[in-house]
Structure 1
Amino acid sequence: MNAALQLAIEQALQQAEHAMQERRSADAFRWLERAHILTQRQPLLHARSHWLMLALGWQIGDYREVAGQIPRIFAALLFSKIWVPIGNTGRSKISAFRPMPVPEELQKLLVNDDQNPSSR
């Protein structure tokens, strides 16, 4: 993984956790969605983004989010290297199979990582 992508993932996860601590759920979900898009091909980090979405769902009493994240955690661990719906934000309100547009700034990070031979 290239340094810029790694830094962006760390920042997104840290910002999400900070927003969760401050009970700013909308901000936390935005950061987690960003982290999810960036980590889709990395099983442990991908599962971590889903775990944090589950924890945030629990924190705000959104049990649909909690229930939807449980199978996504297992799928992230099992299928991230095989197939992912590119750009999917990872939320339970979105089909787990639906590809979505990747924001341009994230595309640049992901394209640079795909071109980095050490990321494979």
Structure 2
Amino acid sequence: MNQFARNLRPHIKQELARYRLALADGRPDQAFVHLERAHVLGQGVTRYHLAAHWHMLCWELRYRRGRGAPGQLLRLVGALILTPPGLLPTGNTGGSNISAFKSMPVEPELAEILRRSRQLKSR
């Protein structure tokens, strides 16, 4: 795992913890927002990108009864193939309701996390 991935790890874990908490609180739509944030943060690291889409697939199967599941299956394959060479649209939130090829603005808070994660040296 490279330093960028190590620096992002606590932020990804935090978003996934917030996802689980929102699910436990019966707030599936808010839970999905945290998956989108985890996706934006993690889409440059294959393991995090795959994890975000895996959780999105599970969410789709549970809350939308599979309507978005085919899109998430395609995104899992795309994440595996396109993440290593960096062929991804910036800021894409990863949901099946968004084109997989669409670049989107990155929330300022997430942009700052990404910027700091790229700049930090080994701790």
| 1:17 counterpart residue number | 20
What's the TM-score once normalised by structure 2's chain length?
0.86
The answer on 1:35 being equivalent to 2:38 is yes
| 1:52 counterpart residue number | 55
**TM-aligned CA deviation for residue 25 of structure 1:** 1.2
Would the aligned equivalents of 2:90 and 2:106 in 1 still touch at CA under 8 Å?
yes
Local SS of the residue matching 1:56: helix
Query: RMSD between aligned alpha carbons?
Result: 1.8
Local SS of the residue matching 2:84: coil
| 1:91 counterpart residue number | 95
Match of 2:105 among 87, 92, 101: 101
In 1, Cα distance between the equivalents of 2:121 and 2:77?
28
Change (3 A) 1:23 1:67: farther
Identity value in percent:
37
What's the TM-score once normalised by structure 1's chain length?
0.88
Would the aligned equivalents of 1:20 and 1:56 in 2 still touch at CA under 8 Å?
no
Structure 2, gaps ≥5 residues long: none
Structure 1 consecutive aligned stretches of length 4 or more whose deviation exceeds 6 Å: none
**TM-aligned CA deviation for residue 2 of structure 1:** 6.8
More deviation in 16-25 or 54-63? 16-25
Would the aligned equivalents of 1:87 and 1:99 in 2 still touch at CA under 8 Å?
yes
Would the aligned equivalents of 1:4 and 1:109 in 2 still touch at CA under 8 Å?
no
More deviation in 73-82 or 101-110? 73-82
